[in-house]
Chain A
Amino acid sequence: MPAMNMLQALNSAMDVLLDKHPETVIFGEDSGYFGGVFGATQGLQKKYGLDRVFDAPINEAAIAAMAIGMAAKGLKPIAEIQFADYIFPAFDQIVSEMSRLRYRSAGQFVSPVVVRSPWGGGIRGGQTHSMSPEAFFTHVPGVKVVVPSNPYDAKGMLIAASEGDDPVIFFEPKRIYNGPFDGVPDAPLSSWARHPKGEVPEGHYRVELGKAEIVREGEACTVITYGTLVHVAVNAAEKAGIDAEIIDLKTLAPYDIETIVASVNKTGRVVVAHEAPRTSGFGAELAAQIQEECFYALEAPIFRLTGWDTPYPHAHEWAYFPGQARFIRALQTVTEAR
């Protein structure tokens, strides 16, 4: 199997979808001829033509609305929002329209759109190119929200999302587009070629949405996270010598409660981690659900390791980002609590 980075894997997913399904269309700002600012759609317009892969005007509401209209007519649009930070002009179309069309029309019209968007920090993007706005969308009935953490999942989940029947907000951790990140800012970039999930089949396959994966088995505590922080967590556990069980959530809505409950009942100690701000972040949902289901198994308070309740800073990015040092402290805190 060829080694691919995340961008190549996403590109390969869209190639497969365009080839297999004539109703697949792809568009976004700079997504056509240029192939996207990160290159995710590179070469696809040349291969499939202007009708299938094209540039959209700088109007995220228009992009979302166009996708809804197309999906209602039976196309399978994959719309790119250039940065997750730019998704808010499309918020009304996603929250009030895309998510509810099936419901409010009692199934007469549907809008199975995939909205792809580069997400998260760690790239010196400052407050407008670093956000993790997933919690805004996990609060919305009718959309699925996913965050893959590696090339294999990125391809399989994008194919599953586009071939599914529901709208999916597909957030792509851009810090790990080109290689996994262990949470140490100045360390040299490692390559997906040396990671088992960098092995990506060329053809069609699906990674089912709604299923989490235990990426490291352990007994001392459970870490539940997604996106870039999956790699930071694994590295921190190794570094600290703490036998943590690490769950890559992959899908946030609907999240895989069974995998979480089984792990927490085993370890009794939990860290939930995300880059997004703490208050009303997705970690709050996880912590609340875990205490409902596993209260008597818990041996320590659930630790929320998150970004701060501030906008995402530029110069002090690494003071904001839950990197290796903060991760190790979190693991120590929950495992040492008596």
Chain B
Amino acid sequence: MSNGQSRFHVPAPPFRPGDAPDFSHLDLQKAGEAKRPDPLTAASKMTDLAFGLIGVLDHNHQAVGEWDPRLAPEMLREGLSHMVLTRIYDARMLKLQRQGKMSFYMKSLGEEAVAVAGAMALNFSDTVFPSYRQQGILFARGRNIVDMMCHCISNSRDNLKGRQLPVHYTWAEGNFFSISGNLGTQFPQAVGYAMACAYKGEDTITASWIGDGTTAAPDFHAAMTLASTYRAPVILNVVNNQWAISTYQGIAKGDAATFASKGLGYGLASLRVDGNDFLAVYAATKWAADRARKGGGATFIELFTYRADAHSTSDDPARYRPKNEFEVWPLGDPIERLKNHLIGLGEWDEDRHAKLEEQMTALVVKSYKEAESHGTLHDGPLSPTHTIFEDVYATEDWRLRRQRQDLGV
């Protein structure tokens, strides 16, 4: 606030290592309170949704309010299963990275609902343009786990021929676009792809995800402008997990009330959603998909969550934030919340949960053994060396031919 004089201002997070984190200052709308307008409502008639918080699961783990998607228990169990698999897969891969089996890894701990519920609310034919922390989409779409691991350890069966860092998946058969690694570039590309779907008269849409930090990037503005101008059938998600490596969300957000509210200036339907609430993420995504398919254009969604672990295997979060922030995060753990909801419904219990975790652990361990049988980054076999010269162009020109011959491959 102003004291009558301009001062140089650099924002800083409320808590650093050694501080006791306390999120009571967050004024979060309670689950069930947000209204659910018809998906074709004009963006200007529902601006409150950009400032509140769409939530379904309340503190008693009951599904409440207009946004409850009323999913059958089988769907809830499926979602839970994908989230549990995502978490177990991530944990295992991190361990393997620490053992030197792969160069790099990125977990999605605490954010599993974002990817899994989002993917389950879309059609399989909808093309997704994720960032590097939405591996849950692949599990929800049924990708072969061995194939995922073969990519991560860059072996002879890596479908990307060893060209990408681990977790930068591509899976065209699953309508999963190539993950760039350059932040935010996929956001406007998803809009162009969605425009092409509409141009071809298809019923398919696209969805993309970026992090809170990337909302500062020029491509964010490019995507929002294109999506609005051309009324593209796209869902643009910002995963506000509070941290961009060591930079807190305030460095990107500035004095905006919420990230979601940034969509309003573009005239986009803008929703702020509890990203740790499986049912809320599902319901909001479904709503946005309906809007897009029915010609209502794009929706901008802020998924409010918390990155519970490091950005990647290359940073130590204890050096820039309190260690126990996730434990006191007011929106809890997405897996625990859905699990407790299912238990409350009488559709799940601790024994079944323990058994699910066992099954998934066994699946991951078995899959890794199989993946490793196709080679590892350090011991090979890798994709043949001559493949580094392939796919630069549709056909090899004289420069690449000579250089390949120079290398003797």
Contact = CB atoms under 8 A, between A and B. Distances in A.
B209 to A, nearest CB: 15
Interface string A128-146: 0000000000000110100
A101 B161 CA distance: 13
A69 interface: yes
Nearest to B228: A57
A322 to B, nearest CB: 27
B170 A61 contact: no
A249 interface: no
Interface string A78-108: 0000000000010011001100011111111
Interface in A219-262: 254, 257
Contacts of B161: 106
Contacts of A141: 392
Interface residues of A, number: 40
B121 interface: no
Contacts of A102: 391-394
Given A108-B178, A109-B170, A59 B191 contact: no
B170 A69 contact: no
A77 to B, nearest CB: 8
B8 interface: no
A57 B226 CA distance: 8
A25 B194 CA distance: 14
Contacts of A142: 392-393
B397 A210 contact: yes
Contacts, number: 132
A110 B391 CA distance: 10
Contacts of B191: 65-66, 69
A107 B196 contact: no
B34 interface: no
A43 interface: no
Contacts of A67: 192
Nearest to A255: B399
Contacts of B397: 210, 254
A144 B196 contact: no
B392 A69 contact: no
A210 B394 CA distance: 14
Interface stretch (B69-77, B136-144, B216-224): B216-224
A65 B218 contact: no
Given A75-B196, A104-B160, A65 B393 contact: no
Contacts of B180: 96-97, 104
Interface residues of B, number: 45
Interface in A45-67: 51, 57, 59, 61-62, 65-67
A144 B219 CA distance: 24
Interface stretch (B20-28, B182-190, B305-313): B182-190
Interface in B205-258: 206, 218-219, 221-223, 225-226, 229
Interface in A143-185: 144, 164-166
Given A68-B189, A69-B190, A103 B163 contact: yes
B160 A65 contact: no
A89 B218 contact: yes
A69 B178 contact: no
B398 A69 contact: no
B367 interface: no
B199 A62 contact: no
A70 interface: yes
Contact of A59 (B171, B194, B222): B222
B195 interface: yes
A61 B391 contact: no
Contact of A65 (B171, B189, B391): B189
B210 to A, nearest CB: 13
A294 interface: no
Contacts of A70: 192-193, 195-196, 199
Contacts of A66: 188-189, 191-192, 195, 226
A74 interface: yes
B188 A69 contact: yes
B96 interface: no
B177 interface: yes
Given A57-B226, A65-B226, A67-B192, 5 more contacts: A57-B229, A65-B187, A65-B191, A106-B160, A254-B398
Interface of B: 127, 159-161, 163-164, 168, 170-172, 177-178, 180, 182, 185, 187-197, 199-200, 206, 218-219, 221-223, 225-226, 229, 391-395, 397-399
21 contacts: A25-B199, A59-B218, A61-B188, A66-B188, A66-B226, A68-B192, A69-B206, A70-B196, A73-B127, A73-B192, A73-B197, A92-B185, A93-B185, A93-B219, A104-B164, A106-B163, A106-B170, A109-B177, A141-B392, A165-B394, A165-B395
The 9 closest A-B CB pairs, nearest first, are A69-B192, A65-B188, A73-B196, A62-B222, A165-B394, A66-B192, A69-B193, A108-B172, A254-B397
